[in-house]
């Protein structure tokens, strides 16, 4: 049985990856911060919590990382733990640098010291491209990060490449474009929309406040993306790969698609921050814009070219935008129904 150590197992990707690895007969160890409760709602929702061995790990503490890797003796480490919310990264640039940049170096250095044959996956991000003018982006596109999150992740990305190229560690980096699911945190725009519009539909909320409705993202399904992470570590040689769908949609289009699933007919009025979304049937304003949700800087349109992953890993996303939005909305409808039963 292979042994995998997943950092950030309580997050969205950690939960899907744990499920995937268990299905592939791995022994799964998951790290959590001492302050965060395990197993947490995501692993419970997937019904896999009881099959995971939890270990407490602090990404700021090198000695602790060494001790955990010695104890677990993993064959593969999937490094997913990070402060991953871009908007918050402007408030905590020092902390995010320590966690998202130096945290990667600490794990790689521990691997080099303890057992250099351990295979390593780093969760990099499309935010590293930032202000880029080239579209779609590939593994060779230059990086121009626009926020502390993207900047810290870029360091993590480069140090992963350095350990691979100069120290011969099997270290791969996935340049991940946005990927969503019913397990996505509610602070991210997709889950915020599916949850809020569902609550509005069932009379539990009146309006949904959003920021930039014209912002576009290359949105995929998290479950598809964790499979690619695994494929990278099964590959004979380590490398960097873009993981993306190659298509972008705006926040407004996301709202419209959710409304369609919920059978709400939405009509837009006004411009920019005065835009409102009205339920055509009831005449009620259900979407408004609140500039507090605008970003100090917005990345240009990021869209990824995943053809390298397709040719070398035989990976491509299986879930369409419409399927993704539908499955997320249906999951939020089920939550409302459950809430009603329990109320």
CA 40 to chain centroid: 17
Is 149 considered catalytic here?
yes
- 28, 18 contact by CB (below 8 A): yes
Closest residue (Cβ) to ligand NDP? 11
x/- binding map, residues 174-193, to ligand NDP, per CB under 6 A? Answer: --x-xx-----x--------
Q: How far apart are CA 325 and CA 137, in angstroms?
A: 24
Is 221 considered catalytic here?
no
Q: Among 7, 64, 178, 181, which residue sits at the site for ligand GDP (rule: CB under 6 A)? A: 178
Q: Map the footprint of ligand GDP across residues 205-244, applying CB under 6 A.
A: 210-212, 215, 217
Could you please report the per-residue DSSP string of 71-133? HH--SEEEE--S---HHHHTT-HHHHIIIIIIHHHHHHHHHHHH-TTSEEEEEEEGGGTTT--
Q: Among 21, 32, 39, 328, which residue sits at the site for ligand NDP (rule: CB under 6 A)? A: 32
| Count of residues in contact with ligand NDP, rule CB under 6 A | 22
Angle between helices 321-342 and 189-201 (to 10 degrees): 50
Could you please report the per-residue DSSP string of 177-188? PPEE-TTS-TTS
Binding-site partner at residue 83 among ligand NDP, ligand GDP, none, CB < 5 to 8 Å by type: ligand NDP
- Six-digit token pair at 216? 């576009």
84 near ligand NDP, rule: CB under 6 A? yes
Binding-site partner at residue 36 among ligand GDP, ligand NDP, none, CB < 5 to 8 Å by type: ligand NDP
36 near ligand NDP, rule: CB under 6 A? yes
From the list 16, 26, 78, 149, the catalytic residue is: 149
From the list 7, 31, 125, 248, the catalytic residue is: 125
What's the closest the beta carbon of residue 122 comes to ligand NDP, in angstroms? 8
What's the closest the beta carbon of residue 75 comes to ligand NDP, in angstroms? 20
x/- binding map, residues 53-82, to ligand NDP, per CB under 6 A? Answer: ------x--------------------xxx
Binding-site partner at residue 293 among ligand NDP, ligand GDP, none, CB < 5 to 8 Å by type: ligand GDP
Q: Map the footprint of ligand GDP across residues 280-299, applying CB under 6 A.
A: 293, 295, 298
Q: How far apart are CA 238 and CA 168, in angstroms?
A: 9
Please tell me whether residue 280 adopts helix, strand or coil conformation: coil
Residue 97 contacts by C-beta under 8 Å, 6 or more apart in sequence?
148, 151, 152, 155
Going by C-alpha positions, the residue among 89, 80, 85 that lies closest to residue 10 is 80
Distances in Å between the Cα of 339 and the Cα atoms of 40, 135, 196, 323, 329 are: 19, 43, 14, 24, 15
Q: Which is nearer to ligand GDP, 90 or 188 (CB)?
A: 188
3-state secondary structure 256-277: HHHHHHCCCCEEEECCHHHCEE
Q: Among 19, 64, 83, 196, which residue sits at the site for ligand NDP (rule: CB under 6 A)? A: 83
Q: Map the footprint of ligand GDP across residues 179-208, applying CB under 6 A.
A: 187-190, 192
- 189, 128 contact by CB (below 8 A): no
Q: How far apart are CA 8 and CA 180, in angstroms?
A: 16
Binding-site partner at residue 81 among ligand GDP, ligand NDP, none, CB < 5 to 8 Å by type: ligand NDP
Q: Among 5, 14, 52, 111, which residue sits at the site for ligand NDP (rule: CB under 6 A)? A: 14
Is 109 considered catalytic here?
no
Catalytic center residues:
125, 127, 149
Contact set with ligand GDP (CB under 6 A): 86-87, 178, 187-190, 192, 210-212, 215, 217, 251, 293, 295, 298
């Amino acid at each position: 049985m292979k042994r995998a150590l997943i950092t950030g197992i309580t997050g969205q990707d950690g939960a899907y990856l744990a499920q995937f690895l268990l299905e592939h007969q791995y022994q799964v160890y998951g790290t959590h911060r001492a302050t965060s409760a395990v197993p947490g709602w995501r692993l419970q929702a997937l019904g896999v919590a009881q099959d995971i061995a939890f270990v407490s790990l602090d990404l700021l503490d090198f000695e602790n990382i060494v001790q955990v890797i010695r104890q677990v003796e993993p064959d593969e480490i999937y490094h997913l733990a990070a402060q991953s919310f871009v908007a918050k990264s402007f408030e905590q640039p020092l902390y995010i640098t320590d966690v998202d940049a130096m945290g990667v170096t600490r794990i790689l250095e521990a691997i080099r010291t303890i057992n250099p044959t351990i295979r390593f996956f780093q969760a990099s991000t499309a935010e590293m491209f930032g202000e880029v003018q080239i579209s779609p982006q590939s593994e060779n596109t230059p990086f121009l990060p626009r926020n502390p999150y993207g900047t810290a992740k870029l360091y993590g990305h480069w140090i992963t490449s350095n350990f691979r190229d100069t120290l011969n560690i099997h270290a791969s980096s996935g340049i991940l474009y946005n990927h969503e699911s019913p397990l996505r945190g509610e602070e991210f725009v997709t889950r915020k929309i599916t949850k809020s519009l569902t609550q509005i539909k069932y009379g539990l909320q009146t309006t949904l406040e959003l920021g930039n409705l014209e912002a576009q993202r290359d949105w995929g399904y998290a479950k598809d993306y964790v499979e690619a992470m695994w494929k990278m570590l099964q590959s004979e040689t380590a490398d960097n790969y873009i993981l993306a769908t190659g298509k972008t949609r705006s926040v407004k289009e996301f709202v419209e698609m959710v409304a369609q699933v919920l059978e709400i007919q939405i009509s837009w009025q006004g411009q920019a921050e005065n835009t409102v979304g009205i339920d055509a049937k009831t005449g009620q304003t259900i979407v408004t814009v609140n500039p507090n949700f605008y970003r100090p800087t917005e990345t240009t349109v990021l869209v990824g070219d995943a053809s390298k992953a397709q040719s070398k890993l035989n990976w491509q996303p299986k879930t369409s935008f419409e399927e993704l939005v539908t499955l997320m909305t249906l999951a939020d409808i089920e939550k409302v129904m459950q809430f009603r039963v329990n109320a």
